[in-house]
């Protein structure tokens, strides 16, 4: 267990500089977005109310009060979130291939460590998961900070104050905020969203190990394995889509999908352990 924790710490340390850059970009971009959008809104309000002599009530009726909803739907807010998602997706590949790059391939040193090779697999997956949770926690901290900045810049008559829960759950034009996916309001939904994400990381890692074990043939095997894994997981929903019949109640579907998800994760971990011990050699 101690070696597993050390491996997790090691993997986090290898990405920490880039991770801090992602955090800095998120903080700067989102707060800058609040300032820029707020100044633009105040400028439009002043021009409409004081130059065009439009009553404030009419302006609010036409434009609506300023709130964090407008900020959350802007590129200033969504852009760094998407950048972080893309960066972590890329790193999910790079976290393995980096160890094979260079003259002195580091993977050989990792595989010869006096610990179960599966710990290397689990440590890399845990590092990815912890970084995702860290960015989600950062967003939860930023939301009230950004709301405070907004209140400093927009007069009370022209703004609508919102709680963190309202910022997350408010939809615009029928579209759910990206925050609703990242920060579910119920523990069950949290487990569903991040359980599926964690399963996807495990399957991706296993596909990479197929490629590392069998090279070009492994690419095909990895793709086939990934398709089979997600087909098994989504099988009940696929059946309902094909036959247009809801065979299961929502609670029953949740239970079945949970069982299938646990099955896919278990088989994926077993397969990865087999590849690391029997096919990936030093």
Q: What is the mean pLDDT of residues 125-129?
A: 94
Q: Angle at the Cα of 39 (from 177 to 53), degrees rounded to 5?
A: 110
pLDDT in tens, 132-177: 999 999 999 999 999 999 999 998 888 888 888 888 887 665 455 6
> Which pLDDT does position 176 carry in this prediction?
57
Quickly state the pLDDT bin for 116 (edges 50, 70, 90): confident
Q: What is the mean pLDDT of residues 115-125?
A: 89
Q: What is the mean pLDDT of residues 22-50?
A: 92
Q: What is the mean pLDDT of residues 176-197?
A: 85
Tell me the percentage of the chain whose pLDDT exceeds 70. 95
Q: Angle at the Cα of 207 (from 274 to 202), degrees rounded to 5?
A: 80
Quickly state the pLDDT bin for 223 (edges 50, 70, 90): very high
Q: Which residues of 221-233 are buried (b: 16+ CB within 10 A; e: fewer)?
A: bbeebbeebbeeb
pLDDT in tens, 45-104: 888 888 878 888 888 888 888 988 888 888 999 999 999 999 999 998 888 888 777 555
pTM to 2 decimals? 0.88
Q: What is the mean pLDDT of residues 234-242?
A: 86
> Which pLDDT does position 174 carry in this prediction?
46
> Which pLDDT does position 180 carry in this prediction?
83
> Which pLDDT does position 173 carry in this prediction?
56
Looking at the chain, the number of H-run helices and the number of E-run strands are 11, 0
Q: Does the pLDDT of residue 178 top 50, yes or no?
A: yes
Q: Which residues contact 279 (CB under 8 A, 6 or more apart)?
A: 209, 213, 214
């Amino acid at each position: 267990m101690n070696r597993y924790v050390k491996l997790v710490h090691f993997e986090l340390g290898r990405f920490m500089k880039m991770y801090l850059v992602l955090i800095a970009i998120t903080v700067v971009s989102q707060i800058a977005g609040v300032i820029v959008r707020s100044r633009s809104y105040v400028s439009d309000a002043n021009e409409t109310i004081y130059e065009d002599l439009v009553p404030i009530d009419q302006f609010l009726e036409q434009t609506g009060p300023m709130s964090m909803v407008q900020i959350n739907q802007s590129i200033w807010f969504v852009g760094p979130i998407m950048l972080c998602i893309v960066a972590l997706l890329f790193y999910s590949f790079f976290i393995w291939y980096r160890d094979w790059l260079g003259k002195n391939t580091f993977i050989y040193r990792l595989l010869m460590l006096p610990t179960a090779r599966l710990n290397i697999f689990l440590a890399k997956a845990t590092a990815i998961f912890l970084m995702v949770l860290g960015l989600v926690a950062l967003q939860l901290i930023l939301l009230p900070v950004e709301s405070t900045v907004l209140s400093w810049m927009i007069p009370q008559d022209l703004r609508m104050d919102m709680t963190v829960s309202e910022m997350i759950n408010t939809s615009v034009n029928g579209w759910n905020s990206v925050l609703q996916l990242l920060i579910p309001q119920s523990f069950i939904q949290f487990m569903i969203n991040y359980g599926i994400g964690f399963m996807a990381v495990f399957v991706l890692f296993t596909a990479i190990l197929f490629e590392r074990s069998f090279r070009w043939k492994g690419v095909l095997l990895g793709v086939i394995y990934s398709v089979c894994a997600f087909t098994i997981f989504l099988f009940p929903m696929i059946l309902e889509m094909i036959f247009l019949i809801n065979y299961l109640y929502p609670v029953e579907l949740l239970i079945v999908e949970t069982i299938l998800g646990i099955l896919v994760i278990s088989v994926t971990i077993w397969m990865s352990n087999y590849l690391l011990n029997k096919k990936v050699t030093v």
